Structure 1
Amino acid sequence: MIKTITTRLLASLIPLFAVVCLSGYWFVNELIVFQKQALQLDQVEPLNVEPGTSIIKLAQHLEQQALITDSWKVKYLVKLEPKLAQIKTGYYQLIPGDTLESVFKRVRLGQEAVFSVTLIEGKSIKEWQQALAKSERLIVGHDDFNQVLLANGDTSGLPEGKFYPETFHYHADDNVQTVLQRSFDMMQMSLKQAWAGRDKDLALNSPYELLIIASIIEKETGKPEERDWVSAVFNNRLKKGMRLQTDPTVIYGMGERYKGNITRKDLREATAFNTYKIDGLPPTPIAAPSRASLFAAANPAKVNYLYFVSRNDGSHVFSATLKAHNKAVNEFQRKRK
C-alpha cells in the first residue's frame, strides 16, 4: 500500500519537476537574449558611473534613459554571473550597436572613454592653446605650457617650439599638463637625436638654435622633399654672415597686426624677429617643428643655394646667385619674364 502511494506521488511530481526545469531554462534563455539586445540609441551618449553605483542602479539608469526595458532582470543576471557586479567608476561612452552585455563588460574592465587632441606642426603655442581650450573633457588652465617647463627645470618662460606636434589620447577630466608633459618629452628626445646626428658643417651652436631653425623650415615649406634644401639655404647664409631674410619670422614678430600680407614697412620694422633687420637667428622658435624639420635642420642638403622664392603652388625655386633669384622673383612673384 505504502509502495503504491509513493509510486503515485513520484509519478505526479515528475511532470511538475519537468515544468520547473523547462521554466528555469526558458528564463535563463530570456536573460541571455535580454543582455544581447542592442541599446535603443542612434548616437554616442555619455555614461558617468559614479562611486557607489551598483550594477542594478546602472541598469535602472539606462531604463530611465529609455535605452533598455525590464531592468529588473539584471538582478537575476548577476546571480548567474556574479562578476557582473564588479564595475568600476569612471566616464564611459555608449555607442550605437552596444548591447547591455558589451556595456557591462566595459564598465567591469574599466575601459573608460578615450578622447584625443591633435597638436599640429607649424602652429604656435597661442594657436595650440586655442585648440586645447576646445578639447572635450580636458582640464585646461591659463599657463599650462610654462607649468610643464617649470616642472622640468626650465625657468625661461619661453615654451614656443619646445613641445612635440602629435595626436595625444587622454581620459575624461585629465589635466592638460599630462598631455603636454608627453609632448615635451617627445620633443626633447627628438631634438636630442637630431642634434646628436647633426652634420659636422652645421653653423649652429646648440640644440636650441637647431630648434629655432627647424621651426622656420616648418613654416617655409610643406614639401617634404624641400626641407633639406631650405635648411641648406639658411645654413649657407649663416656661414657667410648673411641675414636669413625669411618672411615667417617677420609675421611672427608682427603678432596680431598680421592680417595676411607683409608690406615694405613691415620688412623695415625693427623687431626681435625681423630677420631682414637682425643678424643671425631670432630669439626663439616661431612654431612647433615636426620631426622631419628637426632632422632637416640638423642635416642640410649639400647644395650651394642662398635664395628661394615661392612658385605660389607650395613649392619653391632655389638659386645660388642673386641674379638667378631675381629672375625667379620676376617670373613667379612679379609675373615678368
Structure 2
Amino acid sequence: MKRIVLRLIGVLLVFALAAAGGFAWWAHQPVGLSASPVEVIIKPSSGVASVGRQIQRGGVSMDPRLFQLLARITGHGADLKAGGYQFETGIAPLDIIEKMVKGEVTHYVVTVIEGWEFRKMRAAVDANPALKHDTAGMSDADLMKAIGATEPSPEGLFFPDTYLFARGSSDVELFRHAYRAMQKRLNEAWNARAPDLPYKTPYEALVMASIVEKETGQAVERPMIAAVFINRLRKNMMLQTDPTVIYGVGESFDGNLRKKDLQTDTPYNTYTRTGLPPTPIALPGIASLAAATTPAPSDALYFVARGDGSSHFSNSLPEHNRAVDKYQRGK
C-alpha cells in the first residue's frame, strides 16, 4: 500500500511539474491580437479579474483566468494601472503585466458612471493627477460657460463613459467632450422618440431619463419605469419618486429618507409638486435615454419593489396597495 501511495504521489508531482512548465511556457509566448497595434482601455479601480476581461474584449486572445493567475503568481495582482495601452505583435502575457505595472500608457482615462450626480463627476476629474486642472476654482456656471454650454445647471448634461486623454490635457476639454457626447446621444434618442410623449423639449426627456436611471433596480425594467412616470405626467399626477426628493435635500442627505423630507417642499419634491423637476437629478446612460423616449407600451401607474431587485407594476391603486401589502408589509 505504501508503495502505491508513493507511486501516486510521484505521478501527481509529474503532472504538477508538467502543468507548471506549460504555464511558464504560455506566459512567455506571444498572444494573438485582433490588430497590430491594438489599443486596450483599462478602467480605473478595476480588479485583476476585470482587467483580464477588458484585455480580452480589447482584442487580445488570452484567457482572462490565466492572466489573473499569472498576475497573482508574479505578485502584481494589485499593481496593474488603468489607462489606454497599445499592444503589438509579439507581446507575451508577462510583457503585458510588466507594461501595466510600469503604467506605460498611451492615454490616461477618467470613467464617469451612470447615475452619478455631476458633483461626483467633477470630484473624479479634479482628483485625476494626469489632467491640467483649468476649472479649479470655477463655479459650475463658470465651467458651463468655459465649455460653451448655454444651460445654467450642469446636472445630467455629461454622458457617462470612459474618456481617454493625453497627460497634461485640460480638464475643460474633457468636460466639453462629455457634454457634446450627451448632446449627441440625447438628440439621437429624441429623433427616435415614440409619438405623443408628454415632453416639449429634449431637455425634459433628459430630466425623465435621469429619474429612470436612479429608480431602476434591474436594467430590463427601465422602459416600464419610464412608462409609469410618463403615464403619470399624462394624467397630471405627482410623480412621487424618492430620488428627486433626495436630490432636493442635497449633500446633507444622510441615507435615511424621512417623512419630513417628503413633506418639505422643494423644486425637486415630486410628492408636493406635479410635473418634472426643473433639472435632471443625475447623469443618465444611453439605456435610460432610450427608455425615456421609447417607453414600454403599458398603462401602469404604480410600481413597488419586490425585495429581490425587481418591481411589481400595477395599473390601479387597489392593485398597487395589494402589492405593497405583499412585498413591503409581508401580509
The gaps in structure 1 that reach 5 residues or longer are 1-41, 46-93, 104-110
1:156-235 paired onto structure 2 within 5 Å: 156-235=151-230
Q: Please name the residue that 1:117 is paired with.
A: 110
- Structure 2 CA distance, aligned partners of 1:270 and 1:146? 25
Could you tell me which residue of structure 2 aligns to residue 135 of structure 1?
128
Percent identity over paired residues: 43
Residues 110-165 of structure 1: CA distance to partner in whole angstroms, max 9, x if unpaired? x9742111010101011112222222311232338645532454343201001100
Residues 1:271 and 2:266 are matched in the alignment: yes
Tell me the equivalent position of 1:246: 241
One-letter amino acid matched to 2:305: S
The structural deviation recorded for 1:330 is: 1.7
Deviates more, 1:146-155 or 1:314-323: 146-155
- Mean Cα displacement is larger for which, 250-259 or 146-155? 146-155
Separation in structure 2 between the aligned mates of residue 227 and residue 156 of structure 1, nearest angstrom: 26
User: Per the alignment, in what secondary structure is the counterpart of residue 164 of structure 2?
Assistant: strand
- Secondary structure of the equivalent of 1:139? coil
Alignment of 1:291-306 (within 5 A): 291-306=286-301
Secondary structure (helix, strand or coil) at the match of 1:253 reads helix
**In the alignment, is the contact (CA less than 8 A) between 2:146 and 2:172 conserved in 1?**
no
- CA deviation map 1:173-231 (0-9, x unaligned): 21111111111111000110111111112111100000000000000014221011011
The separation in 2 between residues aligned to 1:313 and 1:173, in whole angstroms, is 45
* Structure 2 unaligned residues grouped into runs of 5+: 1-75, 82-94
Contact 1:216 1:286 in 2 (8 A): yes
Note the aligned Cα RMSD (angstroms).
Answer: 2.4
**Residues 189/144 of structure 1: CA separation in 2 closer, same or farther (3 Å cut):** farther
Q: Secondary structure at the match of 2:154?
A: coil
Change (3 A) 1:230 1:189: same
Equivalent-residue separation in structure 1 for 2:301 and 2:98 (angstroms): 59
What is the TM-score with the length of structure 1 in the denominator?
Answer: 0.65
**What's the TM-score once normalised by structure 2's chain length?**
0.66
Q: CA deviation at 1:334?
A: 2.2
| 2:147 and 2:175 in contact (8 A); partners too | no
Give the whole-Å Cα distance in 2 for the aligned partners of 1:158 and 1:291. 20
CA–CA distance in structure 1, aligned partners of residues 193 and 80 of structure 2: 48
> Is the deviation greater in 309-318 or in 262-271?
309-318
4+ aligned runs moved over 6 Å, structure 1 = 42-45
Structure 2 CA distance for aligned equivalents of residues 95 and 166 of structure 1: 25
SS in 1 for 2:239: coil
How many aligned residue pairs are there? 236
CA contact (8 A) 1:308 1:319 kept: yes
Q: Give SS of 1:236's match.
A: helix
Task: Trace 1:14-93 onto structure 2 (pairs within 5 A).
Answer: none
Moved more, 170-179 or 200-209: 170-179
Match of 1:317, SS state, is strand
Q: What residue number does 2:40 align with?
A: none
- The 1-side partners of 2:116 and 2:232 are apart by 25
